[in-house]
């Protein structure tokens, strides 16, 4: 449905800021110059509202109000994430292979595949729109490939991978931002994540073997840091 009137300055300002996570991070920490930011995004706002008569001061006010909204929400979210991390553990499994096959080739063979999986120390099956991706112990990869009819039926194989497994309380299912927090820390340290898999209380990150120890150390350090931090949060606030 088409709007009868153009969006407000506050609405457009909020939408523009939400497209820039780095700005939001600065707002959370209250380390931003709102006058400079208003000048920076003014042309974007004018382009949406279709006017050249917007005052910087109006944008600045909208930014400050949105910052206050973010600060209130983020404080509680940060406390929740901190509680999750301090109650999590991390494991590292090496010698993992990621193989992707066309969906049609595997649908009728899931039973046999599960028999193979039962012999593996690590096995994850993810269904996409057109493919299945299997992340598994290197020791069973030949059996997996044979079951799908050989390498000719394999879309892609990524060898020399490792799995970082974060085991958290069941509340991880309900609390937003946990995966984002962890993966952002890894991204800042130049670590690429090949696969992200969520399995109830487990968050599984598949990374290249050369990055595995570094990634494990980063996650472990996060957990230790949050265990040493005082987290004032009630059981009600975790919901």
Structural domain including 177 reads: 87-227
Q: Is there a domain that residue 160 lies in?
A: yes
Provide the pLDDT for residue 50: 83
Q: Is there a domain that residue 2 lies in?
A: no
Distance CA 123, CA 132 (A): 13
Assess whether 151 and 210 both reside in one domain.
Answer: yes
Q: Structure pTM?
A: 0.78
Provide the pLDDT for residue 3: 55
Distance CA 141, CA 159 (A): 10
Torsion over CA: 223, 227, 231, 237 (sign): positive
Assess whether 65 and 104 both reside in one domain.
Answer: no
Assess whether 137 and 197 both reside in one domain.
Answer: yes
Q: How many domains does the chain have?
A: 2
Q: Is there a domain that residue 154 lies in?
A: yes
Q: Is there a domain that residue 3 lies in?
A: no
Assess whether 62 and 91 both reside in one domain.
Answer: no
Residue 59 C-beta-side C-alpha neighbours within 13 Å: 25
Average pLDDT, 10 consecutive residues per value, the chain (239 residues)? 73 93 85 94 90 88 91 79 95 96 84 89 91 93 89 91 96 91 93 94 97 97 91 65
Q: Is there a domain that residue 235 lies in?
A: no
User: Rounded to the nearest 5 degrees, what angle is found at the Cα of 152, between the Cα atoms of 132 and 133?
Assistant: 15
Provide the pLDDT for residue 149: 84
Q: Is there a domain that residue 234 lies in?
A: no
Q: Which residues contact 70 (CB under 8 A, 6 or more apart)?
A: 24, 27, 28
Assess whether 114 and 47 both reside in one domain.
Answer: no
* Residue-level length of the chain: 239
């Amino acid at each position: 449905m088409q709007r009868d009137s153009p969006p407000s300055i506050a609405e457009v300002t909020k939408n523009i800021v939400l497209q820039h996570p780095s700005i939001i991070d600065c707002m959370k920490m209250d380390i931003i110059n709102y006058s400079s930011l208003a000048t920076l995004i003014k042309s974007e706002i004018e382009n949406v509202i279709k006017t050249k008569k917007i005052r910087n001061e109006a944008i600045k006010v909208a930014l400050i109000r949105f910052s206050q909204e973010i600060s209130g929400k983020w404080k509680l979210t940060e406390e929740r994430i901190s509680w999750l991390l301090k109650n999590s553990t991390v494991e590292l499994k090496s010698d993992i292979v990621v193989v992707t096959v066309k969906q049609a080739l595997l649908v009728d063979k899931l039973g046999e595949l599960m028999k193979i999986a039962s012999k593996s120390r690590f096995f994850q099956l993810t269904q996409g729109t057109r493919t299945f991706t299997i992340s598994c112990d290197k020791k069973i990869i030949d059996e997996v490939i044979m079951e799908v009819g050989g390498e000719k039926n394999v879309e892609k194989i990524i060898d020399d991978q490792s799995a970082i497994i974060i085991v958290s309380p069941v509340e991880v299912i309900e609390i937003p931002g946990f995966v984002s927090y962890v993966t952002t820390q890894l991204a800042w340290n130049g670590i690429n994540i090949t696969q992200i898999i969520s399995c109830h209380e487990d968050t599984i990150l598949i990374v290249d073997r050369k990055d595995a120890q570094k990634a494990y150390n980063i996650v472990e350090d996060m957990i230790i840091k949050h265990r040493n931090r005082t987290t004032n949060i009630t059981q009600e606030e975790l919901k």
